[in-house]
Structure 1
Amino acid sequence: MRIAELAGQRVAIWGFGREGRAAIAALRGRLPQLPLTLFCGSAEVAAAQAFDPALQVRGEEPDAAALGHFDVVVKSPGISAYKPALLAAQSGGTHFTSGTALWFAERPQAPVVAVTGTKGKSTTTALIAHLARSLDVRTALAGNIGLPLLELLDAQAGLWAVELSSFQTGEAGPVPLGVFTSLYEEHLDWHGSRERYLADKLKLAGVARTLLVNGTQEALLERTAAHPDRVLFGVPQGWHVHEGFICRSAERLFAVDQLPVPGDHNALNACAALAALEAMGHDARTAAPALAHFHALPHRLQPLGERDGRQWINDSISTTPQATLAALASLAGRAVTVIVGGHDRGLDWTDFVDAVSDQPSLAIVAQGASGPRIAAALGEAQAIGELALVATLADAVERARALTPTGGVVLLSPGAPSFDQFRDYAERGRRFAELAGFDGQAISGIEGLGVS
């Protein structure tokens, strides 16, 4: 559905975050006379009325009857497509769309690399943009990484590096290249089940003319085997890591220890970015040296510096146990205290417990709503040398400071969302930095968003 098709229809916006504001601005720009209703939180009403005085603002969670009053509802990504009220209104004829879907309908020929994955998608998307710009390709960096696509509705670029969350993969139009960095279970509260999460994530494969897939994940290989034009990274015949180098087949092109973002998983993300660039017809070999100048994204294994004789690392983006394991792997051989726990979505921590059972020097501080369940699993397995259970992140930082020896590392890698204590992972990361003695605002902000 294109924006012009909304003319003469009854239209509502659902959600007043950045995506919602981008949708309002885009519709006002193209259809200035179109009446718009906004559903938002009661605390957002005044801000919404100031943002657009012509809006009819309803500070409420809409039920099926309220949604059914509209022909089209443009919803924000965080609102589950499986809410009962939404499904009921949908069955009654209301059409639900999103800013992502509207942008793809407006820009069907855009040279898009759409990146998704349970983990690694933000770093990979940013790497693609960074490498393309090193080749003087005018590149847009947008999507779930922090800039709604509708904010760039009229922008022009030779390459679009677009991150899509599992909330958005079903909303993308045909793309020249889709990229899968990884696939684990996550966001079960939004999708309702593990299988639905996987199915929603894999919708990107259905609209990608070429599909670039992490060849190290058997489950992902199985689920994408039917794609007619699938390319793999992480395998010897393509871009992969071997003996400390990023390689293209047998050719060594970049030393992993020169990569500014640590960990084997980030070396694999770099392989994905190079493979994506190559698949889009650009000279990835020439771009490879530019990896040395990439800046780590906030809250993703972000080194904060030293305080009290200890190194502090912010990996607040970690919302699955697998992500926490990857963070720990990047710090192998060092004395680490890791802070885990947060909003409890019922994820299985068995693999995590098994993986840390042979690391007696590792200390773990469990906190938040899921902390007791994680601590219980670790305690039953007698998995580690030091285990502490506390209530809040502030308590966790205090306990971690006491447990970590001089020269050691305090790592925030929660393996869980932030919603039990914080608005989002970024707020959690900033608070961790402040508790550790750093400037929480100074660590935020993603370089390169937009077009350049």
Structure 2
Amino acid sequence: MRISQLEGKRVALWGWGREGRAAFHALHERLPGLSLTLFCPQAEAAAARAESAGALQVESAVTGEALARFDVVVKSPGISPYTPEALQAQAQGTQFIGGTSLWFSEHARADGRLPDTVCVTGTKGKSTTTSLLAHLLRAAGHRTGLAGNIGLPLLEVLDPQPAPEYWAVELSSYQTGEVARSGARPDVAVVLNIFPEHLDWHGSEQRYIDDKLALVTAGHPRVAVLNAADAHLRALQLPHSQVVWFNQPAGWHMVGEVVHRGAQPVFDTSDTPLPGRHNRGNLCAVLAALEALGLDAVALAPAVRGFRPLPNRLQLLGERDGVRWVNDSISTTPHASLAALDCFAGQRIALLVGGHDRGVDWHDFAAHMRDNAPLEIVTTGANGPRIHALLQPLADAGRFGLHAAGDLPHAVEQARAALGGQGGVVLLSPGAPSFGAYRDYVARGRHFAELAGFDPDSISAIPGLGVA
């Protein structure tokens, strides 16, 4: 659905975060006469009325009946379409779309194709991968847009002038279904991996997988770049797309620290700024995507040395009193925490885990702790007691020290004390979202930096967002 098709319809916005504000400004600019209603918490109502200069009718009570008054509801990504209120309104004919869908529709050609647009998703690594893709495209001299779930809503860059030659777009599982709903076909779609996450939003693990994979199963990209090491992806059948595999010997893959293209060694990643072996492996996905665009990926690979790592992703904040502080606040699954631990194998690590409880299973994490545990583990957050109980038998057997903390300041204090002044790494890799205690993972990472003695403002900016 294009923005022009909203004219004459009853339209509401649901959510007044950055995505909601971007949707309002895009719709109000294109259709200044369109009457808009906003559903948001009462605490945000005054700010919404002020920013919209009275152009919004604001309501705080979100019910199925209230939503059903509208033909179209443009919702923010964090709001699930599977809530009872949304399902009730959908049953009465209300259509729910997001800003991602509107952007895709605006940029698609008549045949639905989104030329020179690369969409990246995956449970882990998608932000670094998308940013790295944009970095290498720019290193090749191409004007490139970097936007999406990475921190810049697509509707904030609806019509940049001059237009970029390429778009690098990160999509979360909240947004991947928007591709199919928009009727647009990305030129290239990259899927890195699939692990259970966001089960509270999706309602079940299978629905999470289905929604995540909609980028390639329903979006029908020209080229689908897939991770051959992921069982969910290996099982896919995509008759409408050319499939390019990475992490397998015939394509782009890692041998030790060296990136190979088939049998050809291309680039030694050991001196690159990419944090963690999994991110170096995702360089293979980026290089495959560049080739899918018709570019010389072999020639571009060395430009990765100029890449600036993103904040909150295995981010080395610095050293204090012999202790290195690492901020991996974006870690929201146990698998992500395991990958973070692997980056510091053999070192004295105090690991901070726990946060919002989405019911994710931590048994696999506990199994890894039998043989690959850090020196100390500090549990915190709403799911901290559940993780703690699961790990207690291993701690009792002497595998590691185990501590419980009521909040992040207490967890940092426990971790610092547990290392005993003998040096090591304090690693915040929670394996869980920040909801409840913090607005988002960025706020959690900033607080961690502050508690560790670093300036939170200096560690927060995402480099390269927008069009450049």
Give the TM-score category using the shorter length: over 0.9
Quote the residue 1:64 is aligned against: 64
Out of 394, 404, 427, the position equivalent to 2:443 is: 427
Instruction: Please state whether the residue corresponding to 2:456 is helix, strand or coil.
Output: coil
Counterpart Cα distance in 2 of 1:449 and 1:32: 28
> 2:398 aligned with 1:398, yes or no?
no
Out of 305, 309, 317, the position equivalent to 2:330 is: 317
Decide whether aligned partners of structure 1 residues 391 and 159 sit closer, same or farther in structure 2, where only a CA change above 3 A counts: same
Out of 224, 227, 231, the position equivalent to 1:214 is: 227
What aligned pairs does 1:278-289 form with structure 2 within 5 A after superposition?
Answer: 278-289=291-302
> 2:235 aligned with 1:230, yes or no?
no
- The Cα of 1:380 is off from its aligned counterpart by 2.5
Q: Compare 55-64 and 141-150 and name the one that shifted more.
A: 55-64
- The Cα of 1:360 is off from its aligned counterpart by 5.7
Quote the residue 2:3 is aligned against: 3
Out of 167, 184, 191, the position equivalent to 2:202 is: 191
- The Cα of 1:258 is off from its aligned counterpart by 1.3
What is the CA RMSD across the aligned residues, in angstroms?
1.3
Decide whether aligned partners of structure 1 residues 135 and 195 sit closer, same or farther in structure 2, where only a CA change above 3 A counts: same
Cα pair 1:169 1:201 within 8 Å, conserved: yes
> 2:136 aligned with 1:131, yes or no?
yes
Instruction: Please state whether the residue corresponding to 1:96 is helix, strand or coil.
Output: strand
Cα pair 1:317 1:426 within 8 Å, conserved: yes
Instruction: Please state whether the residue corresponding to 2:190 is helix, strand or coil.
Output: strand
Cα pair 1:186 1:320 within 8 Å, conserved: yes
Quote the residue 1:416 is aligned against: 432
Quote the residue 2:95 is aligned against: 95
1:42-63: CA deviation from partner (whole Å, max 9, x where unpaired)? 1111111111123333241410
Decide whether aligned partners of structure 1 residues 138 and 402 sit closer, same or farther in structure 2, where only a CA change above 3 A counts: same
In structure 1, runs of 5+ residues without a counterpart are: none
> 2:116 aligned with 1:111, yes or no?
yes
Counterpart Cα distance in 2 of 1:225 and 1:249: 23
> 2:187 aligned with 1:176, yes or no?
yes
Instruction: Please state whether the residue corresponding to 2:393 is helix, strand or coil.
Output: helix
Point out 4+ residue stretches in structure 1 off by more than 6 angstroms.
none
Cα pair 2:351 2:374 within 8 Å, conserved: no
Out of 130, 145, 168, the position equivalent to 2:150 is: 145
Identity of matched residues, %? 54
1:302-357: CA deviation from partner (whole Å, max 9, x where unpaired)? 00000122000000000000000000001111111110000111111111111121
The letter of the residue matching 1:149 is L
> 2:207 aligned with 1:200, yes or no?
no
What aligned pairs does 1:239-254 form with structure 2 within 5 A after superposition?
Answer: 239-254=252-267
Cα pair 2:122 2:192 within 8 Å, conserved: yes
Counterpart Cα distance in 2 of 1:76 and 1:93: 19
- The Cα of 1:359 is off from its aligned counterpart by 3.7
Cα pair 1:236 1:250 within 8 Å, conserved: yes
Counterpart Cα distance in 2 of 1:360 and 1:340: 13
The letter of the residue matching 1:283 is D
- The Cα of 1:362 is off from its aligned counterpart by 2.1
Decide whether aligned partners of structure 1 residues 359 and 104 sit closer, same or farther in structure 2, where only a CA change above 3 A counts: closer
Quote the residue 2:170 is aligned against: 163
The letter of the residue matching 1:397 is V
- The Cα of 1:270 is off from its aligned counterpart by 1.0
Counterpart Cα distance in 2 of 1:386 and 1:227: 52
Aligned length: 452
The letter of the residue matching 2:89 is A
- The Cα of 1:438 is off from its aligned counterpart by 0.6
Cα pair 2:223 2:244 within 8 Å, conserved: yes
Counterpart Cα distance in 2 of 1:218 and 1:360: 26
In structure 2, runs of 5+ residues without a counterpart are: 109-113
Counterpart Cα distance in 1 of 2:290 and 2:41: 41
Instruction: Please state whether the residue corresponding to 2:235 is helix, strand or coil.
Output: helix
TM-score of the superposed pair, with normalisation by structure 2: 0.94
- The Cα of 1:283 is off from its aligned counterpart by 1.3
- The Cα of 1:385 is off from its aligned counterpart by 1.8
The letter of the residue matching 1:385 is F
Instruction: Please state whether the residue corresponding to 1:111 is helix, strand or coil.
Output: strand
1:214-246: CA deviation from partner (whole Å, max 9, x where unpaired)? 111123211356664211111111111103201
Quote the residue 2:454 is aligned against: 438
- The Cα of 1:165 is off from its aligned counterpart by 0.4
Counterpart Cα distance in 2 of 1:402 and 1:241: 38
Cα pair 2:121 2:173 within 8 Å, conserved: yes
> 2:33 aligned with 1:33, yes or no?
yes
Counterpart Cα distance in 2 of 1:300 and 1:341: 16
